[in-house]
């Protein structure tokens, strides 16, 4: 475990804030289209978000399978910033290069207010904060435990050379009802100077959020939780790579 602190060269590939909602029964994709048009000047590149459904018809004479595509929202992008307006929620993505948590939070909050004012959710049912990191580890090294506090464990009688691994664990925090899915993945050496371990921390809190203050307080708690997971999962030697 390493000591939490600001990392000027944090290995963040993508960070996102996600808010799940329940909209009124008469809500439709036209509301999402209004939001797309509202942010078009700042997020000019947009695509439709679609869901596919399979419709099966069974008769005596023939069976048929029809795939129905429904537009559920829009994904709007400018450079490394993306906002998603959907009938089931709102997401704000920030791709590399990442700045600061405060910048991500404030940009997302402004767009969320636009979503809330237009879509008028009946309730907010989930808030999530996810950070996907590309942790580049310099070669050579003998064991992943030099950098990871929870590396893959191999029985001692087996060959110890690791060529690939994938670990995923779900944890829950009693205080605050926070949860997280932690994923570590290594897909092999792709260059002579380093290997990359994908370190994905997906935190969330479910419940009924009655106002904006509760939503953003929950996200602040998730940010602290995310940091605890990150610094608990890397050794001090690993963290120093990103200072």
Integer CA distances (angstroms), 13 to 95, 134, 198, in order: 6, 6, 9
Q: Which two tokens stand for residue 50?
A: 């679609």
In a domain, 7, yes or no: no
Cα radius of gyration rounded to whole Å, the chain: 21
CA distance 171 to 180: 5
In a domain, 4, yes or no: no
56 confidence band (pLDDT: 50, 70, 90): low
pLDDT at 89: 97
Q: Which two tokens stand for residue 183?
A: 């994923």
pLDDT at 223 over 70: yes
User: Where do we find the tokens 């791709």?
Assistant: 95
CA distance 120 to 219: 20
- In the chain, % of residues over pLDDT 70: 93
27 confidence band (pLDDT: 50, 70, 90): very high
Give the strand pairing for 89-95 and 194-209. Answer: unpaired
The backbone torsions φ and ψ at residue 6, rounded to the nearest 5 degrees and listed phi first, read -70, 135
173: containing domain: 12-242
Contact 15, 131 (CB under 8 A): yes
- Within 10 angstroms of residue 175's Cβ, the number of other Cβ atoms is 7
The SS3 of residue 87 is: coil
Chain CA centroid to CA 222, Å: 12
Give the strand pairing for 178-186 and 194-209. Answer: antiparallel
pTM of the model: 0.91
In a domain, 151, yes or no: yes
pLDDT at 192: 86
Give the number of domains in the chain.
Answer: 1
In a domain, 194, yes or no: yes
In a domain, 3, yes or no: no
Which tens digits make up the pLDDT trace of 155-213? Answer: 999 998 899 999 999 999 987 799 999 999 998 887 789 999 999 999 999 999 989 99
CA distance 81 to 92: 8
Contact 9, 52 (CB under 8 A): no
Helices (H), the chain: 29-38, 101-119, 212-233, 236-239
CA angle 129, 38, 32 (to 5 degrees): 65
Contact 108, 128 (CB under 8 A): no
Q: Which two tokens stand for residue 73?
A: 């929202």
In a domain, 139, yes or no: yes
């Amino acid at each position: 475990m390493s000591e939490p602190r600001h990392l000027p060269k944090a290995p963040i590939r993508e960070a996102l804030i996600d808010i799940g909602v329940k909209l009124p029964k008469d809500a439709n994709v036209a509301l999402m289209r209004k939001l797309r048009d509202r942010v078009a000047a700042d997020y000019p590149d947009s695509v439709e978000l679609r869901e596919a459904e399979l419709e099966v018809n069974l008769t005596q004479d023939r069976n048929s399978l029809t795939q129905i595509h429904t537009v559920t929202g829009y994904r709007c992008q400018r450079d490394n910033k993306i906002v998603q307006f959907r009938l089931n929620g709102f997401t704000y993505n920030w791709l590399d290069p990442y700045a600061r948590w405060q910048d991500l939070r404030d940009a997302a909050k402004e767009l969320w207010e636009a979503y809330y004012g237009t879509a008028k959710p009946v309730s907010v049912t989930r808030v999530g904060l996810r950070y996907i990191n590309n942790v580049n580890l310099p070669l050579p090294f003998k064991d992943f435990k030099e950098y990871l506090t929870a590396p893959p464990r191999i029985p001692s009688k087996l060959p110890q050379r690791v060529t690939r691994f994938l670990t995923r664990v779900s944890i829950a925090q009693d205080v605050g009802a926070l949860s997280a899915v932690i994923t570590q993945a290594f897909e092999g050496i792709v260059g002579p100077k380093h290997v990359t371990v994908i370190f994905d921390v997906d935190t969330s809190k479910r419940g009924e959020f009655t106002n904006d203050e509760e939503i953003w307080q929950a996200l602040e708690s998730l940010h602290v939780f995310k940091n605890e997971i990150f610094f608990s999962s890397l050794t001090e030697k690993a963290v120093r790579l990103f200072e």
